[in-house]
Amino acid sequence: MADLISQPALTGLPVTLGRATVAALDPGRVTSIAPYPGRDLSTALAPLRFPAPGEVVSNGSIRLVWAGREMAFLLGAPAPDLTGLAAVTDQSDGWVWVSLEGDDAAAVLARLSPLDLRPASFAPGTAARSTLNHLPALIIRTSETRFELASFRSMAGTLKEELHHAMQAVAARAAL
């Protein structure tokens, strides 16, 4: 069998402009879990549980993040055996992840996403599916000034480009 070499989806990171830094992020293994209708996953997922919309359920470094209607992403650990309970798919190589951090992180994101990013409506410790311009994205807010962004790996270059433009604009406005 061919000896495959893993390649990062993004190069040239981290980048800091003004008060925001975008850096590559390795979330570990990523598995989507989509429960079949009417199945109870609570025993199989313990000590985690299936997240409600927008919720991030964590246990140490393992996280189960809501990622869409009746779907969650398990980050940082192999999936438990969910045979007959849920559709389980390895997504590790399908998504690209970056972190966006700094006092202007929310201002940068606000230029790309229509989400209401005020902490009162998008609280630290929660997740949202939204868009970054035309890119579909999963956005996890880990603190008021730090976000983890995921988009399709085939669009990694566009993700970096969009973030770079927004960071330039926010930094330029701050420098006026």
Partner 1 sequence: MRIPCPCCGPRDRREFTYYGASDYLDRPAEGADLEAWDNYLHLRDNPAGVTRDLWYHDPCQAWLEVTRNTVTHEILSAHPVSEVSA
Site residues, partner 1 (CB under 8 A) = 53-54, 68-69, 71, 114-116, 121, 128-131, 136-137
CB of 18 to partner 1, least distance (A): 25
Closer to partner 1 by CB, 17 or 86: give it.
86
Could you tell me the smallest distance in angstroms from the CB atom of residue 130 to partner 1?
Answer: 5
Looking at the Cβ atoms of 37 and 47, the one nearer to partner 1 is: 37
Q: How far is the CB of 10 from partner 1 (least distance, A)?
A: 22
CA distance linking residue 89 with residue 129, whole number of Å = 18
SS3 163: helix
Nearer to partner 1 by Cβ, of 53 and 157: the residue is: 53
Task: Output the smallest distance, CB 115 to partner 1, in A.
Answer: 8
User: Alpha-carbon distance 21 to 151, whole Å?
Assistant: 18
- Beta pairing class for 15-17 and 86-90: unpaired
User: Is the peptide bond prior to 14 cis by the omega test (within 30 degrees of 0)?
Assistant: yes
Cis peptide bond N-terminal to 80, omega within 30: no
At residue 134, what are phi and psi to the nearest 5 degrees? Answer: -95, 5
User: Between residues 31 and 113, which has the closer beta carbon with respect to partner 1?
Assistant: 113
Nearest to residue 29, comparing CAs of 75, 66, 64, 60? 75
Q: How far is the CB of 8 from partner 1 (least distance, A)?
A: 26
- Of residues 17 and 139, the one with the C-beta less far from partner 1: 139
